[in-house]
């Protein structure tokens, strides 16, 4: 978001990532803590050192001798990522028996408060089997897949998640394996000499989907459709022929149900899950909805002539008045003329394909038009008629119900109007008396509650399948009237937002005075029930590589916040508050956020950052709500997280090509300002006009808007429903049961940016458990190729995520895999073509380059890290020449993770840990852009 002469805008300045040595924030993901600071005093130097290895290679069973000093303190020895047995011969000598399983990498000696790594690497000479490539990582149950590599003839068996795989055929360079009928997922394990060997390749087994039938085969927007077949339990979205996506309402192995969304077009349907896209043979037809705006009547002999006006009336195929059939005399899109015998009375009902019968009003036995319930409207944020195909209430959120009852002549006194509500099973939920005008209107007013009968549908009643009946009592000269409707109610939505003050140099972003202010802003305009929004705050997170907001790389800062979110609370949204510029420039960046994808909502990065700007924002609204700039920026940036592209206003880059107008205007629908959490209080309704009587603009543009348009709201609701369905208990913090314990190998995450100028790698990271969710699909066109020192090549598809507002189409990516040991080089491909590296040396191992150094300088370059705690602070020193970056995570005894710092470069860092619960562990990641190692120690 960018500001220029008080206009909100978003601009991402294209800069390359830079890092600097700063500490990170302390405290847990949901509680306050003290931000770390750098210290000048050096931490204690490890007394342990490695001077030489007896050999750079040896076969299994041979003895490797390590010489050096301080070996009596050593408690663990690893070669690469493998822990090995050892014997302390003396304080200056350790011996190792080379294991049967192949090992490769630097030798690391660890103990209490230290970890020292050899300057040279060791590789066992055993011709170990290596998997260097696979035909696919997503495999349907019962189908075959092929792995490629070397020495595979030494493998006696293969397993995934402990399940043995059938070997179809094999040789020394390839093996074809069968996925079991009950699909399994996990890392492929090779059985060599009776011992398991981790291949490093993650395979995802899935049930193949098939479509047998689509019923009904036509419908209006808002109608319910069921697809039957098999393998449908994992389906998350339905894809229409024109690319419109529908969220799934319910799914089982044999059926999947969804609601036809706005913008859908006729054609074959496709069921989409994480691994496949299966198309129907039959065509589903989207038909227009019939609406009625007026009913006129006259008599001719023994016939009553009815004239109905509205929309799409040319699709009406039949009509009835009460129990009597009516004859269609003529019809057009806007008018239909009916004949019915004189004496027929009751409700005029129109039948059209793909929708429920439409109420066109009532007549009495003389042919006179009676009291007419012309409209039943519902509103969470926008007021919509019950027949509006885009109506979709949020379950658990109080909803306004409006009934417009029209009289044929002015001055008719209003009868009693009640609201009767029952559940999807027919159980009575309650009856409410609706408030309304003293005299009935003769025409509908879409923007005023003064001419309609109004009531609030309590939150507990707003559930799928709810039935609402309007009961109009008889008047002095009128018969009673009634109408029953079933408003569309969407799938549940839940939102947990963690607010993060960002420390940039000496300044820290300021959070809003009360978390309830944030909750109210989100409840006002987003498709969530107030009770399903949780807002929490985190201790400050230090942004490395910046000394002030003016010099901050916004793309890098966003990436650092997302890394913290992925580690600490992957089911939550993270929003970072950036300290306001001082002084304020004439034009500046105000916010940045990732562009979510509904089809991959559970794996979408949902982080955003924005200024803590307190000035008043933009246009305002007709309800006199107070909109500080930070609030408008937050709604905009989190809108990107909810998959929203820009609205076309104010020069916003890459506007949504499907946006319904060229000026980002809200539609003509009335806007409803609800009390959010009241089951009885009616809110305020208004035309979509600003205090200056101009049309309100969509907040996703750059014209000062503060509310979503209906177009944007619908898409945000689709994303919210899809993400909530994909994440069980989205409001709950991860528990110890879901946190993996440290493993000898751990996981390696490679991340970076894709820009018009090439690939820029971020610091790699090592972790005990895998971070993030794989979002690559069979359609992914990007691939990371990782070459190890031992000769193995990993080919890992990935799906980059766009950074909204990026000037040069920047996107970020993350790839996590079991740590394969020392990396030689990295490549990134798009559609099979190598992509240029912005900094080519990033993609090559620093250690490999250092091996050409002399023996004397090589020892000086040895990797090492040491730590010490004193007076509630943790001090860490490391060799930043070979391992430039340090990240620090604390894992509490309950399994809650807190990022203390990331991307630190100075070789020294200090953290305030006095508020951290004891009994957990610290995980240190020492890394370059392409490799990382994990060091853990208790607290």
* Residue 184: both structure tokens together: 């399994």
Exposed (0-12), middle (13-18) or buried (19+): which is 304, by Cβ within 10 Å? Answer: buried
Q: How confident is the model at residue 267 (pLDDT cuts 50, 70, 90)?
A: very high
Q: Is 370 left (phi over 0), alpha (psi -120 to 50) or beta?
A: beta
Does residue 184 sit in the same domain as residue 146? yes
Among residues 551, 562, 713, 690, the alpha carbon closest in space to that of 635 is found at 713
Residue 404 pLDDT = 96
Rounded distance between C-alpha atoms, residue 682 and residue 676, angstroms: 10
CB atoms within 10 A of CB 856: 7
| 732 pLDDT above the threshold of 80 | no
- Report pLDDT digits (tens) over 73-106: 999 999 998 899 999 999 999 999 888 777 889 9
Work out the percent of the chain whose per-residue pLDDT is above 70. Answer: 90
Backbone angles phi, psi at 532, to 5 degrees: -105, 15
Q: How confident is the model at residue 132 (pLDDT cuts 50, 70, 90)?
A: confident
Rounded distance between C-alpha atoms, residue 752 and residue 729, angstroms: 30
Rounded distance between C-alpha atoms, residue 142 and residue 727, angstroms: 28
Measured torsion, CA atoms of residues 706, 712, 715, 721, in degrees rounded to the nearest 10: 20
Chosen domain end from 184, 206, 228: 206
Rounded distance between C-alpha atoms, residue 384 and residue 291, angstroms: 13
- Report pLDDT digits (tens) over 549-583: 999 999 999 999 999 999 999 999 999 999 999 99
Residue 33 pLDDT = 39
Q: How confident is the model at residue 416 (pLDDT cuts 50, 70, 90)?
A: very high
| 601 pLDDT above the threshold of 80 | no
Rounded distance between C-alpha atoms, residue 432 and residue 420, angstroms: 7
Backbone angles phi, psi at 285, to 5 degrees: -105, 125
Burial 210-238 (b: 16+ CB within 10 A, else e): ebeebeeebbbbbbebebbbebbebbbbb
Rounded distance between C-alpha atoms, residue 48 and residue 109, angstroms: 8
Does residue 200 sit in the same domain as residue 217? no
Q: What's the angle, vertex CA 732, arms to CA 36 and CA 235, rounded to 5? A: 120
* Residue 285: both structure tokens together: 């037809």
Does residue 510 sit in the same domain as residue 647? yes
- Report pLDDT digits (tens) over 444-457: 999 999 999 999 99
- Report pLDDT digits (tens) over 620-630: 899 999 899 99
* Residue 130: both structure tokens together: 């290596």
Does residue 813 sit in the same domain as residue 928? no
| 643 pLDDT above the threshold of 80 | yes
CB atoms within 10 A of CB 649: 23
Q: How confident is the model at residue 1 (pLDDT cuts 50, 70, 90)?
A: low
Residue 599 pLDDT = 63
- Report pLDDT digits (tens) over 146-204: 999 888 998 999 999 999 999 999 999 999 999 999 999 888 999 988 888 888 788 88
Among residues 750, 786, 754, 769, the alpha carbon closest in space to that of 885 is found at 750
CB 380 within 8 A of CB 490: no
CB 30 within 8 A of CB 918: no
Residue 127 pLDDT = 66
How many Cα atoms are found within 13 Å in the side-chain-facing hemisphere of 643? 22
Residue 2 pLDDT = 53
Position 736 in a domain: no
Average pLDDT, the chain: 87
Q: How confident is the model at residue 775 (pLDDT cuts 50, 70, 90)?
A: confident
Q: What's the angle, vertex CA 861, arms to CA 92 and CA 128, rounded to 5? A: 75
Rounded distance between C-alpha atoms, residue 818 and residue 749, angstroms: 9
* Residue 385: both structure tokens together: 């008629």
Does residue 507 sit in the same domain as residue 592? yes
Residue 35 pLDDT = 39
Burial 825-838 (b: 16+ CB within 10 A, else e): bbbbeeeeeebebb
Burial 137-154 (b: 16+ CB within 10 A, else e): bbbbbeeebebbbbebeb
* Residue 591: both structure tokens together: 């916010």
Chosen domain end from 230, 262, 287: 287
Place of tokens 């009994």: 919
DSSP 556: H
| 116 pLDDT above the threshold of 50 | yes
Residue 863 pLDDT = 62
Does residue 324 sit in the same domain as residue 251? no
Q: How confident is the model at residue 126 (pLDDT cuts 50, 70, 90)?
A: low
Higher confidence at residue 61 or residue 71?
A: 71
Q: What's the angle, vertex CA 910, arms to CA 889 and CA 821, rounded to 5? A: 45
| 396 pLDDT above the threshold of 80 | yes
Residue 369 pLDDT = 85
What does the pLDDT average to over 772-787? 81
Backbone angles phi, psi at 345, to 5 degrees: -145, 160
Higher confidence at residue 829 or residue 58?
A: 829
Does residue 422 sit in the same domain as residue 526? no
CB 390 within 8 A of CB 222: yes
Does residue 163 sit in the same domain as residue 194? yes
Work out the percent of the chain whose per-residue pLDDT is above 90. Answer: 64
Position 250 in a domain: yes
- In DSSP terms, 751 is beta-bridged to 814
Residue 778 pLDDT = 64
DSSP 32: -
Position 78 in a domain: yes
DSSP codes joined into one string, 788-853? ETTS-EEEEEE--EEEETBTT--EEEEEEEE--S-EEEEEEEETTEEPPBSSGGGGB-HHHHHTTS
CB 86 within 8 A of CB 105: no
Position 19 in a domain: no
Rounded distance between C-alpha atoms, residue 289 and residue 355, angstroms: 7
Rounded distance between C-alpha atoms, residue 569 and residue 592, angstroms: 20
**Number of structural domains found in the chain:** 8
Residues 6+ apart with CB under 8 A from 356: none
Does residue 331 sit in the same domain as residue 358? yes
| 844 pLDDT above the threshold of 80 | no
Exposed (0-12), middle (13-18) or buried (19+): which is 128, by Cβ within 10 Å? Answer: buried
What does the pLDDT average to over 249-262? 88
Measured torsion, CA atoms of residues 434, 439, 444, 446, in degrees rounded to the nearest 10: -50
Pairing verdict, β 573-578 and 495-504: parallel
Chosen domain end from 433, 464, 490: 490
For 152, 349, 417, 458, 855, the CA distances from 373, given in Å and listed in that order, are 76, 13, 11, 22, 92
Position 5 in a domain: no
Position 1 in a domain: no
- Report pLDDT digits (tens) over 792-818: 788 888 989 999 977 678 999 999 888
Rounded distance between C-alpha atoms, residue 792 and residue 133, angstroms: 9
Position 694 in a domain: yes
DSSP codes joined into one string, 870-911? ETTEEEEEE-TTTS-EEEEEEE-TT--EEEEEEEE-SSEEEE
CATH number for the domain that contains residue 512: 3.40.390.10
* Residue 509: both structure tokens together: 């972003």
How far separated are the first and last CA of the chain, in Å rounded?
A: 42
Residue 729 pLDDT = 52
Backbone angles phi, psi at 90, to 5 degrees: -160, -175
CATH number for the domain that contains residue 387: 2.60.40.10
CB 823 within 8 A of CB 788: yes
Q: How confident is the model at residue 848 (pLDDT cuts 50, 70, 90)?
A: very low
- In DSSP terms, 874 is beta-bridged to 869, 911
Does residue 915 sit in the same domain as residue 831? no
Determine the structural domain holding residue 315 and report its residue range.
290-370
Residue 99 pLDDT = 84
Position 740 in a domain: no
| 37 pLDDT above the threshold of 50 | no
Q: How confident is the model at residue 294 (pLDDT cuts 50, 70, 90)?
A: confident
Among residues 822, 885, 886, 905, the alpha carbon closest in space to that of 118 is found at 822
Does residue 257 sit in the same domain as residue 301? no
Q: How confident is the model at residue 275 (pLDDT cuts 50, 70, 90)?
A: confident
* Alpha-carbon torsion (530, 532, 533, 539), positive or negative: positive
CB 642 within 8 A of CB 652: no
Say whether 568 sits in a helix, a strand or coil.
helix
How many Cα atoms are found within 13 Å in the side-chain-facing hemisphere of 500? 38
Measured torsion, CA atoms of residues 733, 738, 739, 741, in degrees rounded to the nearest 10: 160
Residues 6+ apart with CB under 8 A from 841: none
Place of tokens 């206009």: 7
Say whether 516 sits in a helix, a strand or coil.
helix
- Report pLDDT digits (tens) over 351-395: 999 888 898 988 888 888 888 898 999 999 999 999 887 899 999
Largest CA distance in the chain: 119
Residue 50 pLDDT = 94
Q: Where are the alpha helices (DSSP H) in 396-458?
A: none
Does residue 764 sit in the same domain as residue 806? yes
Residue 23 pLDDT = 31
Q: How confident is the model at residue 241 (pLDDT cuts 50, 70, 90)?
A: very high
- In DSSP terms, 793 is beta-bridged to 787
| 27 pLDDT above the threshold of 70 | no
CB atoms within 10 A of CB 633: 29
Give Cα 785 distance to the centre of its chain: 26
């Amino acid at each position: 978001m960018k500001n220029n002469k008080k206009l909100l805008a978003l601009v991402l300045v294209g800069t390359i990532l830079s890092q600097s040595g700063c500490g990170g924030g302390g405290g847990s993901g949901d509680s306050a803590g003290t931000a770390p600071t750098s210290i000048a005093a050096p931490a204690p130097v490890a007394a342990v050192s490695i001077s030489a290895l007896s050999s750079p290679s040896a076969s299994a069973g041979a003895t490797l001798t390590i010489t050096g000093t301080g070996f009596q303190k050593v408690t663990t020895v690893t070669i690469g990522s493998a822990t090995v047995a050892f014997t302390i011969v003396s304080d200056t000598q350790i011996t190792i028996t080379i294991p049967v399983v192949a090992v490769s990498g630097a030798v690391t000696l660890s103990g209490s408060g230290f970890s020292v790594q050899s300057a040279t690497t060791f590789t066992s000479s055993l011709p170990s089997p290596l998997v260097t490539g696979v035909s696919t990582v997503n495999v349907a149950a019962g189908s075959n897949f092929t792995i490629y590599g070397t020495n595979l003839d030494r493998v006696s068996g293969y397993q995934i998640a402990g399940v043995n795989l059938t070997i179809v055929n094999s040789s020394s360079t390839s093996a074809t394996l069968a996925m079991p009928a009950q699909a399994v997922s996990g890392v492929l394990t090779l059985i060599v000499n009776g011992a398991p060997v981790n291949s490093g390749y993650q395979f995802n087994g899935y049930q193949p989907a098939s479509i047998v039938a689509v019923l009904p085969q036509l419908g209006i927007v808002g109608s319910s459709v069921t697809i039957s077949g098999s393998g449908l339990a994992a389906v998350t979205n339905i894809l229409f022929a024109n690319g419109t996506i529908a969220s799934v309402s319910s799914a089982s192995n044999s059926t999947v149900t969804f609601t036809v969304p706005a913008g859908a077009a006729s054609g074959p349907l496709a069921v989409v899950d994480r691994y496949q896209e299966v198309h129907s043979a039959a065509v589903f037809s989207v038909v227009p909805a019939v609406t009625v705006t007026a009913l006129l009547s006259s008599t001719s002999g023994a016939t009553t002539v009815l004239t109905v006006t509205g929309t799409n009336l040319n699709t009406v195929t039949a009509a009835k008045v009460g129990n009597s059939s009516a004859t269609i005399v003529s019809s057009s899109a806007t008018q239909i003329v009916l004949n019915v015998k004189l004496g027929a009375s009751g409700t005029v009902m129109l039948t059209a394909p793909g929708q429920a019968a439409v109420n066109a009003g009532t007549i009495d036995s003389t042919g006179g038009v009676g009291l007419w319930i012309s409209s039943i409207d519902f509103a969470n944020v926008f007021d919509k008629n019950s027949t509006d195909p885009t109506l979709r209430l949020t379950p658990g959120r109080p909803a306004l119900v409006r009934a417009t009852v029209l009289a044929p002549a002015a001055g008719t006194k209003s009868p009693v109007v009640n609201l009767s509500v029952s559940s999807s099973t027919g159980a009575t939920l309650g009856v409410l008396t609706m408030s309304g005008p003293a005299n009935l209107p003769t025409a509908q007013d879409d923007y005023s509650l003064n001419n309609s009968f109004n009531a609030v549908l309590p939150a507990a009643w707003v559930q799928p399948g709810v039935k609402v009946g309007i009961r109009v009592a008889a008047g002095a000269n009128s018969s009673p009237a009634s109408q029953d409707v079933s408003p569309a109610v969407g799938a549940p939505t839940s939102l947990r937002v963690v607010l993060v003050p960002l420390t940039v140099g000496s300044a820290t972003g300021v959070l809003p005075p009360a978390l309830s202010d944030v909750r109210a802003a989100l409840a006002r305009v987003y498709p969530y029930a107030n009770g399903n929004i949780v807002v929490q705050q985190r201790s400050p997170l230090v942004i490395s590589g910046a000394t002030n907001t003016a010099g901050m790389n916004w793309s890098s800062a966003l990436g650092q916040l997302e890394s913290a979110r992925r580690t600490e609370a992957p089911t939550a949204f993270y929003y970072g508050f950036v300290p306001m510029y001082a002084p304020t420039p004439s034009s500046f960046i105000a916010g940045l956020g990732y562009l979510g994808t509904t089809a991959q909502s559970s794996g979408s990065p949902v982080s955003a950052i924005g200024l803590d700007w307190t000035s008043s924002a933009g246009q305002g609204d007709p309800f006199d709500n107070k909109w500080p700039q930070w609030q408008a920026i937050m709604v905009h940036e989190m809108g990107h997280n909810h998959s929203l592209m820009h609205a076309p206003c104010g020069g916003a880059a890459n506007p949504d090509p499907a946006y319904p107008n060229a000026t980002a205007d809200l539609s003509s629908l009335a806007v409803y300002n609800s009390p959010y959490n009241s089951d009885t209080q009616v809110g305020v309704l208004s035309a979509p006009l600003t205090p200056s009587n101009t049309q309100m603009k969509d907040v996703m543009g750059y014209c000062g808007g503060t509310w979503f348009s209906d177009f944007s709201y619908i898409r945000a609701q689709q994303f919210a429903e899809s993400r909530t369905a994909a994440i069980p208990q989205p409001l709950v913090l991860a528990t110890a049961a879901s946190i993996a314990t440290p493993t000898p190998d751990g996981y390696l995450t490679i991340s970076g940016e894709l820009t018009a100028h090439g690939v820029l790698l971020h610091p790699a990271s090592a972790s005990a458990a895998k971070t993030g969710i794989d979002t690559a699909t069979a359609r992914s066109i990007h691939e990371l190729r990782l070459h190890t020192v031992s000769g193995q090549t990993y080919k890992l598809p990935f799906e980059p995520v766009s950074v909204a507002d990026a000037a040069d189409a920047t996107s970020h990516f993350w790839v996590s895999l079991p740590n394969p040991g020392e990396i030689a080089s990295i490549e990134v491909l798009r559609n099979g073509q190598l992509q240029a590296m912005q900094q080519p040396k990033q993609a090559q191992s620093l250690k490999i380059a250092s091996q050409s150094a002399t023996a004397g300088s090589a020892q000086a370059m040895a990797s090492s890290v040491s730590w010490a705690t004193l007076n509630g602070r943790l001090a860490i020193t490391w060799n930043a020449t070979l391992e430039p970056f340090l990240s620090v995570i604390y894992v509490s005894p309950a399994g809650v993770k807190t990022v203390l710092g990331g991307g630190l470069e100075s070789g020294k860092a200090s953290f305030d840990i006095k508020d951290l619960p004891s009994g957990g562990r610290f995980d240190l990641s020492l890394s370059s852009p392409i490799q990382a190692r994990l060091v853990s120690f208790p607290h």
